[in-house]
Amino acid sequence: MKRETLLAAARAAAEHAYAPYSRFRVGAAAVMETPEGEVMATGANVENASFGLTICAERVALASLFQMLPAGETPQVTQVAIACVDAPEDAPDEARVPCGACRQWLAELAPEATYYVDGIERDLTLPDLLPHAFRLERE
């Protein structure tokens, strides 16, 4: 899918965020390959007064992909777009990229994906976002 198409989907998803505490709405769009072609899922952050219960947009989008698969299969995520629609135009890259928890989710579920972050012009890879990602070998 085209970079701008995914970023537009992420921006649109961010408009549905529930962010009354941070007022920092984030949207994400994730794409996976299936035998039938590409499938996209979007998500927005949903905050909670008990901040630890907040769920980020990236995790909502990835979890949504799992709902589209047969039980037990892992999605082959190829692209992820993230948009923080409330980030100031002059915000540094650090204010636009996923949080640490989301980066670890991405390391587990989308290690080979191409990442598009609204406001960062170049495409990113997981090592750009999380250079030394924790990995647990599976048997």
- Which pLDDT score, from 0 to 100, does residue 36 have? 79
> Which candidate in 47, 58, 94, 137 is catalytic?
58
Using CA atoms, how far apart are residues 40 and 107, in angstroms rounded to an integer? 19
pLDDT tens, N- to C-terminus, the chain (139 residues): 999 999 999 999 999 999 999 999 999 999 998 887 899 999 999 999 999 999 999 999 999 998 888 777 777 999 999 999 999 999 999 999 999 999 999 999 999 999 999 999 999 999 999 998 888 877 6
- Which pLDDT score, from 0 to 100, does residue 135 have? 85
The angle that helices 3-14 and 57-66 make with each other, rounded to 10 degrees, is 110
Judge whether 74 and 42 are in contact, CB under 8 Å.
Answer: no
- Burial environment of residue 108 by CB neighbours within 10 A (0 to 12, 13 to 18, 19 or more): middle
- Verify whether residue 58 is a known catalytic residue: yes
Read off the tokens for 19: 């962010």
| Domains in the chain, CATH or no CATH each | 3-129 (3.40.140.10)
In tens, the pLDDT along 20-43 reads 999 999 999 999 988 878 999 999
